[in-house]
Amino acid sequence: MIKFFRKIRYNLMEQNKTGKYLKYAVGEIILVVIGILIALQVNNWNERRKLQNESQEVLKGLNIEFKNNREVLKERIDYIEDANKYVQAVLSLTNKDESQLRAVNIDSIISLSLKYGNYNPANSTIQELISSGKLNIIENDQLKNNLFNWLQILEDTDEDFKNQDLQAITMLEVYLSKNISFKNTVTYHPLDFGDGESKLFDKKYVHIFNDLEFENLYYGKRFWNTVMINHYKELDHLAQEIINQTENIK
Protein backbone atom coordinates (compact mmCIF):
# COMPACT_ATOMS: atom_id res chain seq x y z
CA MET A 1 0.00 0.00 0.00
CA ILE A 2 2.86 2.39 0.82
CA LYS A 3 4.49 1.64 -2.54
CA PHE A 4 1.19 2.38 -4.26
CA PHE A 5 0.96 5.85 -2.64
CA ARG A 6 4.60 6.53 -3.37
CA LYS A 7 4.12 5.72 -7.09
CA ILE A 8 1.15 8.07 -7.29
CA ARG A 9 3.13 10.76 -5.50
CA TYR A 10 5.99 10.48 -7.96
CA ASN A 11 3.62 10.69 -10.90
CA LEU A 12 2.01 13.83 -9.45
CA MET A 13 5.42 15.40 -8.94
CA GLU A 14 6.31 14.72 -12.55
CA GLN A 15 3.02 16.23 -13.67
CA ASN A 16 3.62 19.27 -11.40
CA LYS A 17 0.32 18.74 -9.56
CA THR A 18 1.45 20.09 -6.17
CA GLY A 19 -1.98 20.17 -4.45
CA LYS A 20 -2.80 16.57 -5.16
CA TYR A 21 0.78 15.61 -4.30
CA LEU A 22 0.41 17.13 -0.82
CA LYS A 23 -2.88 15.31 -0.28
CA TYR A 24 -1.36 11.99 -1.17
CA ALA A 25 1.69 12.74 0.97
CA VAL A 26 -0.53 13.48 3.97
CA GLY A 27 -2.53 10.36 3.24
CA GLU A 28 0.66 8.32 3.20
CA ILE A 29 1.73 9.80 6.56
CA ILE A 30 -1.68 9.08 8.08
CA LEU A 31 -1.54 5.53 6.80
CA VAL A 32 1.92 5.03 8.35
CA VAL A 33 0.75 6.50 11.68
CA ILE A 34 -2.32 4.24 11.72
CA GLY A 35 -0.11 1.24 10.98
CA ILE A 36 2.22 2.14 13.86
CA LEU A 37 -0.72 2.62 16.25
CA ILE A 38 -2.20 -0.73 15.26
CA ALA A 39 1.18 -2.42 15.72
CA LEU A 40 1.57 -0.82 19.17
CA GLN A 41 -1.94 -1.88 20.13
CA VAL A 42 -1.28 -5.46 19.04
CA ASN A 43 2.04 -5.44 20.90
CA ASN A 44 0.37 -4.10 24.06
CA TRP A 45 -2.34 -6.72 23.78
CA ASN A 46 0.28 -9.44 23.41
CA GLU A 47 2.19 -8.10 26.45
CA ARG A 48 -0.99 -7.99 28.54
CA ARG A 49 -1.81 -11.50 27.44
CA LYS A 50 1.67 -12.72 28.39
CA LEU A 51 1.43 -11.04 31.81
CA GLN A 52 -2.03 -12.51 32.35
CA ASN A 53 -0.79 -16.00 31.49
CA GLU A 54 2.24 -15.54 33.75
CA SER A 55 0.00 -14.28 36.56
CA GLN A 56 -2.25 -17.34 36.24
CA GLU A 57 0.75 -19.65 36.36
CA VAL A 58 2.00 -17.87 39.50
CA LEU A 59 -1.41 -18.19 41.16
CA LYS A 60 -1.55 -21.89 40.31
CA GLY A 61 1.93 -22.35 41.76
CA LEU A 62 0.98 -20.51 44.95
CA ASN A 63 -2.18 -22.58 45.30
CA ILE A 64 -0.32 -25.89 45.04
CA GLU A 65 2.52 -24.69 47.27
CA PHE A 66 0.22 -23.49 50.06
CA LYS A 67 -1.94 -26.60 49.97
CA ASN A 68 1.22 -28.65 50.53
CA ASN A 69 2.45 -26.20 53.18
CA ARG A 70 -0.85 -26.45 55.01
CA GLU A 71 -0.72 -30.24 55.12
CA VAL A 72 2.74 -30.14 56.71
CA LEU A 73 1.64 -27.35 59.04
CA LYS A 74 -1.36 -29.32 60.31
CA GLU A 75 0.96 -32.23 61.12
CA ARG A 76 3.27 -29.84 63.00
CA ILE A 77 0.36 -28.43 65.02
CA ASP A 78 -0.80 -31.94 65.97
CA TYR A 79 2.77 -32.88 66.91
CA ILE A 80 3.30 -29.92 69.25
CA GLU A 81 -0.19 -30.18 70.75
CA ASP A 82 0.47 -33.84 71.51
CA ALA A 83 3.79 -32.93 73.16
CA ASN A 84 2.03 -30.28 75.21
CA LYS A 85 -0.39 -32.89 76.59
CA TYR A 86 2.58 -34.77 78.04
CA VAL A 87 4.10 -31.54 79.35
CA GLN A 88 0.83 -30.92 81.17
CA ALA A 89 0.88 -34.51 82.42
CA VAL A 90 4.35 -33.88 83.89
CA LEU A 91 3.15 -30.70 85.58
CA SER A 92 0.14 -32.51 87.02
CA LEU A 93 2.51 -34.86 88.84
CA THR A 94 4.51 -32.17 90.65
CA ASN A 95 4.30 -32.28 94.43
CA LYS A 96 3.28 -35.96 94.35
CA ASP A 97 4.74 -38.63 96.64
CA GLU A 98 6.71 -41.71 95.65
CA SER A 99 3.75 -44.10 95.57
CA GLN A 100 1.75 -41.80 93.27
CA LEU A 101 4.68 -41.43 90.89
CA ARG A 102 5.34 -45.17 90.75
CA ALA A 103 1.78 -45.66 89.47
CA VAL A 104 2.75 -43.77 86.30
CA ASN A 105 5.27 -44.54 83.55
CA ILE A 106 7.43 -41.46 84.14
CA ASP A 107 10.05 -42.40 81.54
CA SER A 108 7.41 -42.51 78.82
CA ILE A 109 5.76 -39.23 79.84
CA ILE A 110 9.03 -37.33 80.00
CA SER A 111 10.23 -38.79 76.70
CA LEU A 112 7.05 -37.75 74.87
CA SER A 113 7.00 -34.33 76.55
CA LEU A 114 10.38 -33.42 75.06
CA LYS A 115 9.13 -33.36 71.47
CA TYR A 116 9.36 -30.07 69.62
CA GLY A 117 10.47 -28.79 66.25
CA ASN A 118 10.38 -25.95 63.75
CA TYR A 119 8.25 -25.51 60.64
CA ASN A 120 10.04 -24.93 57.33
CA PRO A 121 7.53 -24.48 54.50
CA ALA A 122 8.28 -24.24 50.80
CA ASN A 123 8.35 -20.59 49.76
CA SER A 124 10.02 -20.88 46.35
CA THR A 125 7.17 -19.18 44.46
CA ILE A 126 7.04 -16.17 46.79
CA GLN A 127 10.81 -15.81 46.89
CA GLU A 128 11.00 -16.00 43.09
CA LEU A 129 8.36 -13.26 42.76
CA ILE A 130 10.24 -10.99 45.16
CA SER A 131 13.74 -11.63 43.79
CA SER A 132 12.60 -11.15 40.18
CA GLY A 133 10.62 -8.00 41.00
CA LYS A 134 7.47 -9.52 39.51
CA LEU A 135 5.23 -9.31 42.56
CA ASN A 136 3.11 -6.70 40.78
CA ILE A 137 1.81 -9.27 38.30
CA ILE A 138 -0.50 -10.27 41.16
CA GLU A 139 -3.44 -7.87 40.87
CA ASN A 140 -5.13 -8.85 44.14
CA ASP A 141 -3.76 -6.42 46.75
CA GLN A 142 -5.13 -8.48 49.65
CA LEU A 143 -3.32 -11.55 48.34
CA LYS A 144 -0.06 -9.58 48.14
CA ASN A 145 -0.57 -8.39 51.73
CA ASN A 146 -1.22 -11.98 52.85
CA LEU A 147 2.00 -13.16 51.20
CA PHE A 148 4.01 -10.48 53.01
CA ASN A 149 2.24 -11.31 56.29
CA TRP A 150 3.07 -14.99 55.77
CA LEU A 151 6.77 -14.21 55.50
CA GLN A 152 6.64 -11.89 58.52
CA ILE A 153 4.90 -14.43 60.76
CA LEU A 154 7.35 -17.10 59.61
CA GLU A 155 10.20 -14.83 60.66
CA ASP A 156 8.62 -14.27 64.08
CA THR A 157 7.99 -18.00 64.43
CA ASP A 158 11.59 -18.82 63.60
CA GLU A 159 12.80 -16.34 66.23
CA ASP A 160 10.53 -17.88 68.88
CA PHE A 161 11.67 -21.36 67.90
CA LYS A 162 15.27 -20.31 68.56
CA ASN A 163 14.20 -19.21 72.05
CA GLN A 164 12.38 -22.50 72.58
CA ASP A 165 15.39 -24.45 71.38
CA LEU A 166 17.66 -22.47 73.68
CA GLN A 167 15.42 -23.16 76.68
CA ALA A 168 15.26 -26.87 75.84
CA ILE A 169 18.97 -27.42 75.21
CA THR A 170 20.65 -25.12 77.71
CA MET A 171 18.19 -25.44 80.58
CA LEU A 172 15.69 -28.31 80.57
CA GLU A 173 17.90 -30.98 79.02
CA VAL A 174 20.85 -29.96 81.21
CA TYR A 175 18.67 -30.34 84.30
CA LEU A 176 17.26 -33.69 83.17
CA SER A 177 20.71 -35.05 82.30
CA LYS A 178 21.68 -34.62 85.96
CA ASN A 179 18.50 -36.08 87.43
CA ILE A 180 17.09 -38.80 85.16
CA SER A 181 18.33 -41.45 82.74
CA PHE A 182 18.07 -40.55 79.07
CA LYS A 183 18.77 -44.20 78.34
CA ASN A 184 15.44 -45.02 79.99
CA THR A 185 13.49 -42.31 78.17
CA VAL A 186 14.89 -43.19 74.73
CA THR A 187 13.13 -46.56 75.07
CA TYR A 188 9.97 -44.66 74.08
CA HIS A 189 11.64 -42.86 71.20
CA PRO A 190 11.85 -44.00 67.53
CA LEU A 191 15.67 -43.91 67.88
CA ASP A 192 15.68 -46.53 70.67
CA PHE A 193 18.95 -48.46 70.46
CA GLY A 194 17.39 -51.51 72.11
CA ASP A 195 20.01 -51.90 74.84
CA GLY A 196 17.58 -51.75 77.76
CA GLU A 197 17.28 -49.47 80.76
CA SER A 198 20.09 -47.90 82.74
CA LYS A 199 21.51 -49.84 85.68
CA LEU A 200 22.82 -46.60 87.17
CA PHE A 201 19.44 -45.02 87.88
CA ASP A 202 17.04 -46.18 90.59
CA LYS A 203 13.93 -44.74 88.85
CA LYS A 204 13.08 -42.63 91.88
CA TYR A 205 11.63 -39.36 90.64
CA VAL A 206 10.14 -37.94 93.80
CA HIS A 207 13.00 -35.47 94.31
CA ILE A 208 12.59 -33.79 90.89
CA PHE A 209 8.79 -33.73 90.97
CA ASN A 210 9.07 -31.85 94.23
CA ASP A 211 11.73 -29.48 92.95
CA LEU A 212 10.68 -25.90 92.09
CA GLU A 213 13.34 -25.63 89.36
CA PHE A 214 11.92 -28.70 87.60
CA GLU A 215 8.41 -27.25 87.76
CA ASN A 216 9.60 -23.90 86.42
CA LEU A 217 11.44 -25.52 83.53
CA TYR A 218 8.33 -27.41 82.50
CA TYR A 219 6.20 -24.29 82.77
CA GLY A 220 8.72 -22.67 80.46
CA LYS A 221 8.40 -25.57 78.04
CA ARG A 222 4.62 -25.33 78.06
CA PHE A 223 4.88 -21.58 77.47
CA TRP A 224 7.05 -21.97 74.36
CA ASN A 225 4.97 -24.86 73.03
CA THR A 226 1.88 -22.68 73.34
CA VAL A 227 3.58 -19.75 71.64
CA MET A 228 4.57 -21.99 68.72
CA ILE A 229 1.10 -23.52 68.45
CA ASN A 230 -0.46 -20.05 68.30
CA HIS A 231 1.99 -19.02 65.56
CA TYR A 232 1.24 -22.18 63.60
CA LYS A 233 -2.52 -21.70 63.87
CA GLU A 234 -2.13 -18.11 62.68
CA LEU A 235 -0.13 -19.40 59.71
CA ASP A 236 -2.74 -22.08 59.04
CA HIS A 237 -5.51 -19.47 58.89
CA LEU A 238 -3.43 -17.32 56.56
CA ALA A 239 -2.54 -20.29 54.34
CA GLN A 240 -6.23 -21.08 53.94
CA GLU A 241 -6.93 -17.48 52.91
CA ILE A 242 -4.17 -17.62 50.30
CA ILE A 243 -5.51 -20.94 48.98
CA ASN A 244 -8.99 -19.40 48.64
CA GLN A 245 -7.57 -16.34 46.84
CA THR A 246 -5.68 -18.51 44.33
CA GLU A 247 -8.43 -21.07 43.71
CA ASN A 248 -10.31 -21.75 40.46
CA ILE A 249 -7.59 -20.41 38.15
CA LYS A 250 -8.30 -21.58 34.59
pLDDT in tens, the chain (250 residues): 555 555 555 554 555 555 554 555 566 666 666 667 665 665 666 556 666 777 888 899 999 999 999 999 999 999 999 999 999 999 999 999 999 999 999 999 999 999 988 999 989 888 888 888 888 888 899 999 999 999 999 999 999 999 999 999 999 999 999 999 988 887 766 666 667 788 888 888 999 999 999 999 999 999 999 999 999 999 999 999 999 999 876 5
At residue 21, the pLDDT reads 47
At residue 28, the pLDDT reads 62
Find out whether 242 and 62 touch, Cβ atoms under 8 Å.
yes
At residue 209, the pLDDT reads 97
Instruction: Find all residues with CB under 8 Å of 1, minimum gap 6, and list them.
Output: 31
| Per-domain boundaries in the chain | 67-245
Q: What angle do CA 184, 186, 188 make, to 5 degrees?
A: 95
Find out whether 117 and 157 touch, Cβ atoms under 8 Å.
no
Round the CA-based radius of gyration of the chain to a whole number and report it. 35
Q: How many CA atoms does the CB half-sphere of 70 hold within 13 Å?
A: 16
At residue 197, the pLDDT reads 82
Cβ burial of 169 (10 Å; 0-12, 13-18, 19+) is exposed
**Rounded to 10 degrees, what is the CA torsion of 226, 229, 231, 235?**
-170
